[in-house]
Amino acid sequence: MNQETEFILQCNPSNSFIEQVMYSKDSLDASVLLNHPLLFCLAPESLESGKHFFDSIRLADKAENYLLAIMLGEHKHYFSFSGVQLRNHVIIVAQQTPESAQPETTAVTDDLLSDEMEAALETPEAEVKEEPLEEQRDVTVWDLMEEMSRLNNELINTKRELIRKNMELERLKEQLKKG
């Protein structure tokens, strides 16, 4: 792309689900990211960095300058991501990086990642959240798909239970009318 592309996303803080494209500039259609977890949209080599990006936001309420690759169709696009947690949402700003800056930025991002995580763990708020971080493992696409499948099954079962309860209520209502 010749022009610089940037966008602002609103995500769910617990699962990176993209709820809204708040701003989009240039020819890249950021709306294709809607209703997907951000981690599902990343290229495989960016999954680990993407996980660290969201962990930094959860622990320190912000993260800056993470180089992540997004897959849009068959094409990979590199963006510098920054994010902040505001109340019940994560706001993410992404700016496309020039192709010449992509290889060097990856090493810088890893250094920034470790510095931010260490700083976050030193704060009192992060000490409360430290326990789940120890239990986490590397996230793969298959892990994410498995989790989405589990959540989908749970949603289906909840809907079935709701239908059963509504039918039971209707039956009780009919008995009250007759009695």
At residue 82, does pLDDT exceed 60? yes
Measured in whole angstroms, the distance separating CA 169 from the mean position of its chain's CA atoms is: 39
CA distance 15 to 2: 33
Q: What is the pLDDT of residue 159?
A: 92
> Which of 22-31, 49-58, 89-98, 124-133 comes out lowest in average pLDDT?
124-133
Q: Flag whether pLDDT at 179 surpasses 80.
A: no
- Whether residue 172 is predicted with pLDDT greater than 80 in this model: the reply is yes
pLDDT at res. 108? 44
Residue that has been written with the tokens 């950021």 in this structure:
30
- Could you tell me which residues come within 8 angstroms of residue 148 by beta carbon, excluding any fewer than 6 positions away? 37, 40
Label residues 11-39 b or e (16+ Cβ within 10 Å = b): bebeebbbeebeebeeebebeebeeebbb
Question: Angle 128-11-149 (CA atoms, 0-180°, nearest 5)?
Answer: 90
| Cα separation, 131 vs 128, whole angstroms | 7
Report residue 34's pLDDT band, with 50, 70 and 90 as the boundaries: confident
The residue that leads in pLDDT, 149 or 80, is 80
> Does residue 41 surpass a pLDDT of 70?
yes
Cα distances from 167 to residues 132, 155, 173, in angstroms, run 40, 18, 10
Distance of CA 8 to the CA centre of its chain: 13
pLDDT digit string, tens, across residues 131-157: 444 444 566 777 777 778 888 888 888
How large is the average pLDDT for residues 126-133? 44
Q: Is the pLDDT of residue 158 over 80?
A: yes
Whether the Cβ atoms of residue 82 and residue 64 lie closer than 8 Å to each other: yes
Q: Is the pTM of this model over 0.95?
A: no
For the chain, domain boundaries = 6-137, 140-179
Per CATH, which fold does 6-137 belong to?
A: Beta-Lactamase (3.30.450)
Q: Give the pLDDT of residue 117.
A: 53
